[in-house]
Chains A and B, each alone.
Chain A
Amino acid sequence: MLFPWNNNANSKDCAKSRLKLIIAHDRASINSDMLMAMREEILDVVARYVEVDREEMEFSLSNDQRMTSLTANLPIRQIKRLGELQKQLQENNGIDLQKIEVVEIDRNEDNAKSNPK
């Protein structure tokens, strides 16, 4: 570099990197409607497999040292029976992934009962 005084002139990059962080932060924290919608959707999926205690559960977005994370604490009341689960999944013939999972559960039935996914 021929002109050393150019070195400390680059405040633009500073502005940009600061904005990148703060905008990500703002975007994660504003939309409570979106958070609610996501909560319901996640609960729907979880509820297919286990019964969740809706009163005791916690669901929150938190910011820690500029990292945003989603924390869900869902106490399980009861684990569904395999037969019940299969029936539900057959009715809900939406996604292929689910079918694959049922086949796997069938093979190790004992395992699946104590530790359903």
Chain B
Amino acid sequence: MSRIIVVTSGKGGVGKTTTTSNLGAALAKQNRSVALIDADFGLRNLDLLLGLEERVVYTALDVLAGECRLAQALVKDKRLKGLVLLPAAQNRNKEAVRPEQMQKIATALAKGYDYILIDCPAGIELGFRNAISAAQEALIVTTPEVAAVRDADRVIGLLEAEGVNKISLIVNRVKPHMVEENKMMSVEDVLELLGVPLIGVVPDDEKVIESTNRGEPLVLGEHESTPAIAYTNIARRLEGEKVPFLDLLANQGNILSRLRKIFGG
């Protein structure tokens, strides 16, 4: 039984595409077959983050227009067996596709893959409705910032209204030292506000940008970084495994901040 999961956030720039590419790669690494759908028509980027941009020939729109078969449009990742990308069209806007069409594509892919991950565009207009139309589950990506949390709440409401009830939360770009100094909301704070179950916490890390520079998902990197472990853990939790959440403060904190914690309260 395959699972169709949409990765969404409402607000732009919180890490939807990075999350989709890393989760796709992590699941494929765990020997799962994964199809990633870029639903951000007109502003596609998933191909770029996966390093597959030069191999895109057809897009989802060509499939819908009958110009190619679905299998022809899928770009296979050569590094990982079982990972494919269905690119979005770049020359059209978000209004080029309708929800029924998106549903058709996702259901067709579900026949051949264990996971269908849909990278949702920002906003709550047609692009969003397209992306969620086929989804059975949703991963909400947010950061501990006011605008991202508010938009996440809005999107959760819309998903529930559409009957997508299996919703989990990924808190991205957590800065442990700021949380420690009460300058940033903690994961617990965000959870309390949004009221959906947590599936992952990803620390803010420069390595994320480095990996996107190279077009190589972090989880494929040779050296294990904290965000890579965080993404791998999310993939394992999706698989039903019970994995404890990372203690982001474990190797953090210099003497000064520890002293301040002791004396400053």
A-side interface residues toward B, CB under 8 Å?
A: 1-3, 6, 9-13, 15-16, 18-20, 22-23, 26-27, 30-31, 33
Interchain CB contact under 8 A, A9 and B263: no
Closest to B189 in A: A16
Min CB distance B251 to A, Å, is 22
Asked whether B161 is an interface residue with its Cβ less than 8 Å from the other chain, the reply is: yes
Identify which of A22, A23, A26, A33 gathers the most chain B CB atoms within 10 Å of its CB.
Answer: A23
Asked whether B264 is an interface residue with its Cβ less than 8 Å from the other chain, the reply is: yes
Write out the residue numbers on chain B whose beta carbons fall within 8 Å of the beta carbon of A27.
153, 157
Choose the segment among B45-53, B177-185, B220-228 that binds chain A (4+ C-beta atoms closer than 8 Å): B177-185
Asked whether B79 is an interface residue with its Cβ less than 8 Å from the other chain, the reply is: no
A1/B265 contact (C-beta < 8 A), A12-B184, A12-B185, A16-B185 known: yes
Instruction: Determine the distance from Cα of A22 to Cα of B153 in the docked complex, in whole angstroms.
Output: 10
Write out the residue numbers on chain B whose beta carbons fall within 8 Å of the beta carbon of A10.
182-183
Supply 15 further A-B pairs (C-beta < 8 A) apart from A12-B179, A19-B150, A30-B158. Answer: A2-B265, A10-B183, A11-B183, A12-B183, A12-B186, A12-B189, A13-B182, A15-B145, A15-B185, A18-B146, A19-B149, A26-B150, A26-B153, A26-B157, A30-B157
Write out the residue numbers on chain B whose beta carbons fall within 8 Å of the beta carbon of A11.
182-183
Min CB distance A56 to B, Å, is 30
Write out the residue numbers on chain A whose beta carbons fall within 8 Å of the beta carbon of B179.
12
Instruction: Determine the distance from Cα of A51 to Cα of B153 in the docked complex, in whole angstroms.
Output: 39
Instruction: Determine the distance from Cα of A18 to Cα of B158 in the docked complex, in whole angstroms.
Output: 22
Instruction: Determine the distance from Cα of A30 to Cα of B157 in the docked complex, in whole angstroms.
Output: 8
Min CB distance B262 to A, Å, is 9
Asked whether B154 is an interface residue with its Cβ less than 8 Å from the other chain, the reply is: yes
Instruction: Determine the distance from Cα of A10 to Cα of B260 in the docked complex, in whole angstroms.
Output: 14
- Scan B35-79; emit 1 where CB is below 8 A from any A CB, else 0: 000000000000000000000000000000000000000000000
B-side interface residues toward A, CB under 8 Å?
A: 145-146, 149-150, 153-154, 157-158, 161, 179, 181-186, 189, 193, 260, 263-265
Interchain CB contact under 8 A, A3 and B264: yes
Interchain CB contact under 8 A, B193 and A12: no
Instruction: Determine the distance from Cα of A10 to Cα of B193 in the docked complex, in whole angstroms.
Output: 18
Closest to B193 in A: A19
Interchain CB contact under 8 A, B157 and A6: no
Instruction: Determine the distance from Cα of A3 to Cα of B257 in the docked complex, in whole angstroms.
Output: 12
Instruction: Determine the distance from Cα of A10 to Cα of B186 in the docked complex, in whole angstroms.
Output: 12
Min CB distance B126 to A, Å, is 18
Interchain CB contact under 8 A, A19 and B264: no
Instruction: Determine the distance from Cα of A16 to Cα of B192 in the docked complex, in whole angstroms.
Output: 10
Instruction: Determine the distance from Cα of A30 to Cα of B151 in the docked complex, in whole angstroms.
Output: 12
Interchain CB contact under 8 A, B153 and A3: no
Min CB distance A29 to B, Å, is 10
Interchain CB contact under 8 A, A23 and B265: no
A1/B264 contact (C-beta < 8 A), A12-B182, A16-B193, A19-B146 known: yes
A30/B154 contact (C-beta < 8 A), A19-B193, A20-B193 known: yes
Min CB distance B125 to A, Å, is 15
Instruction: Determine the distance from Cα of A8 to Cα of B260 in the docked complex, in whole angstroms.
Output: 15
Min CB distance B81 to A, Å, is 43
Interchain CB contact under 8 A, B157 and A31: yes
Interchain CB contact under 8 A, A22 and B264: no
Instruction: Determine the distance from Cα of A32 to Cα of B16 in the docked complex, in whole angstroms.
Output: 28
Interchain CB contact under 8 A, B193 and A23: yes
Write out the residue numbers on chain B whose beta carbons fall within 8 Å of the beta carbon of A26.
150, 153-154, 157
Considering the complex of A and B, which 9 residue pairs feature the smallest CB-CB distances, nearest first? A3-B264, A2-B263, A10-B182, A12-B182, A6-B264, A23-B153, A15-B146, A12-B185, A16-B189
